[in-house]
Amino acid sequence: MSTVVPAGPVVLLIDADNLSAPEMVAQAVRHLTQLAGPVAVRRAYGSAENLRGLAGVLREYAFHLCVNLPLAKNTTDMALAVDAMDLCAQYQPGVLAIGTGDADFAPLVLRLRERGVRTVCFSQANKMSPEVHGFYDEVVLLGARRSAAASVVAVAAPVEAPAPVRKAAARKTPARKSAAKAVVEAAPAPAPAPASAPATAPEAAAVSARAAAAAAKEAELSERVQALLRELPGVADGQEVDFGEVAKRLREAKLLGRQAVMSKFLKKHVPGVELTPQAQPRKLRWAPDPA
């Protein structure tokens, strides 16, 4: 990672309704300082509840707190975008980083880039919207699996690649056995056996690869859903949490489709989850395994 020397001040704006883990906010500050130097402007935007949950780290790194308006519609994204353009006009920052995984900031990032501002995104690994990777000059995933430090998206993607290859190779054995059986049963005419074997093995490998890829995708989704649940206050202590709030957080993280049945989705991806009542749940409890 090379250090960038910005032409103007370095700015970090945290969407606390999205980037809500204290240790990850601290990671973002440290990583940005390594990348671009001292962070002159540090602001955190969000509801009073979410900012209260980050109080310790925001105080430690001297963030300016910006509480959103208590309206039915969340105003955090709009407040952050307005301040970003205001800072751009006032100070002409060299680097502007946003702590979020929300795709709503894509138009803002485009405008900043047109003004010559280098843009960086810090996001929790399970909340980053993949469709906005290309909008930023750099995307950093925080809390990525098997890594205690921040990791860049570009080098994090190939982790699951070897699994389909190993499983596909393991499935070739039945194809060879079936070919051998065909040779024994058709001894007078052995020619068809060599012709059928090359066709059967690739087909079996392709089916196996597709099945392995689908299984890996489902496993990754389950891991992301469980990681999000662990971040909710009270879950780690075995307390009941609001069913509707969990559904909202899953949809914001682009993990739960709008047409999906929430109760079936949770039972599939979160083993051991308890829903109360079963028919029309209003509360849920889950006791995650120790990390």
> Do 95 and 211 belong to one domain?
no
By DSSP bridging, strand 283-285 and strand 138-142 are unpaired
> Do 183 and 245 belong to one domain?
no
Among 124, 152, 133, 101, smallest CA distance to 223 is for 124
By DSSP bridging, strand 151-152 and strand 138-142 are antiparallel
Cβ proximity of 69 and 17 under 8 Å: no
Does residue 224 fall inside a structural domain?
Answer: no
Number of domains in the chain: 3
Does residue 5 fall inside a structural domain?
Answer: no
> Could you give the 3-state DSSP secondary structure of residue 4?
coil
| Buried residues in 96-116 as b, exposed as e (16+ CB within 10 A) | bbbbbbbebbeebbeebeeee
> Do 286 and 210 belong to one domain?
no
Classify burial at 23, counting beta carbons within 10 Å of its beta carbon; exposed 0-12, middle 13-18, buried 19 or more. Answer: exposed
pLDDT average, residue stretch 149-163: 40
Does residue 225 fall inside a structural domain?
Answer: no
Using the predicted structure, report yes or no on whether residue 130 has a pLDDT greater than 90: no
Does residue 135 fall inside a structural domain?
Answer: yes
Pairwise pLDDT comparison (239 vs 3), residue with the higher score: 239
Tell me, what's the pLDDT at 158?
35
> Where does a domain end: 180, 196, 219?
219
Cβ neighbours of residue 221 closer than 8 Å, sequence gap 6 or more = 255, 269
> Do 172 and 153 belong to one domain?
no
The pLDDT tens digits of the residues spanning 200-231 come to 667 777 777 788 888 888 888 888 888 888 88
Q: What would the two tokens of residue 243 be?
A: 């069913």
> Do 262 and 202 belong to one domain?
no
Give the whole-angstrom CA distance, residue 199 versus residue 194.
9
Q: Which amino acid is at 251?
A: R
> Do 113 and 237 belong to one domain?
no
> Do 19 and 142 belong to one domain?
yes
Give the domain range for residue 214.
Answer: 165-219
What's the CATH number where 83 sits?
3.40.50.1010
> Do 75 and 132 belong to one domain?
yes
> Do 50 and 154 belong to one domain?
yes
Chain centre to alpha carbon of residue 202:
34
The pLDDT tens digits of the residues spanning 164-194 come to 445 444 454 444 444 434 333 434 444 554 5
Tell me, what's the pLDDT at 157?
36
Using the predicted structure, report yes or no on whether residue 271 has a pLDDT greater than 70: yes
